[in-house]
Chain A
Amino acid sequence: KNQVEQSPQSLIILEGKNCTLQCNYTVSPFSNLRWYKQDTGRGPVSLTIMTFSENTKSNGRYTATLDADTKQSSLHITASQLSDSASYICVVSVILTGGGNKLTFGTGTQLKVEL
């Protein structure tokens, strides 16, 4: 079982609508949680990074929330645009015993925005 699970696997919405993507994780000890956007044929691009003490962080029309107690995060996209069509990947960073961080990647939610 993946230690970072995302839902839904895929989503289709109409342009202008809002949507929320979910991420549940089991890895520990937690360092930070990141959301990335990956366009087809491109590398992931960072949207937000949140530490244990942060509950919410925004980047334009993207707002990420974090509940470290329940180990859940969400990414809310407001007023979607065609260019939001991409895979959204949740990444959890854990603290290693010897120092440094290890990233565990979710499999992503594939979002398609249609006219």
Chain B
Amino acid sequence: NAGVTQTPKFQVLKTGQSMTLQCAQDMNHEYMSWYRQDPGMGLRLIHYSVGAGITDQGEVPNGYNVSRSTTEDFPLRLLSAAPSQTSVYFCASSPYTEVGYGYTFGSGTRLTVV
């Protein structure tokens, strides 16, 4: 039972480079989301999706793109990496957004932009 799988676990980018962080879940969850975790701050929502073909912005969407072509996959794209995007990124999924359904988080991608 894989749950939520994120790849890669670690990545170093140069300023201006682009890359895609992968997230896949095998629980048939409708809801998927991307968060970033920075020291001294709580997790902040970047983008989320309530189902295939539907995405929306969270509180810190600038510099990131997402798409949801299948229920299973929700990749996060960094268009032109900046040092401010150095962070740990978590993907999370849930069957619904309503009360009683806890999120399942992936193990994270640690990204450093130099």
> Chain A residues in contact with chain B, CB under 8 A?
2, 4, 31-32, 34, 41-46, 49, 51, 89, 93, 100-108
Contacts and interface: CB of A to CB of B under 8 A. Distances in A.
Nearest to B35: A105
Interface in B3-50: 4, 40-45, 50
Given A103-B45, A105-B43, A107-B40, A43 B90 contact: yes
Contacts of B104: 46
Nearest to B31: A100
| Chain B interface, DSSP helix/strand/loop, else mixed | loop
Interface in B85-114: 90, 92, 97-100, 102-108
Interface residues of B, number: 21
7 contacts: A32-B100, A43-B4, A43-B92, A49-B100, A102-B45, A105-B42, A107-B42
Interface in B64-101: 90, 92, 97-100
Given A41-B107, A44-B90, A89-B42, 13 more contacts: A31-B99, A32-B99, A32-B100, A41-B108, A42-B108, A43-B92, A43-B106, A44-B43, A44-B105, A89-B43, A101-B99, A103-B45, A105-B42
B102 A101 contact: no
Chain A CB count within 10 A is highest, among B50, B90, B97, for B97
B70 to A, nearest CB: 21
A107 B102 CA distance: 18
A34 B42 contact: no
A101 B90 contact: no
Contacts of B41: 107
Contact of A104 (B42, B102, B107): B42
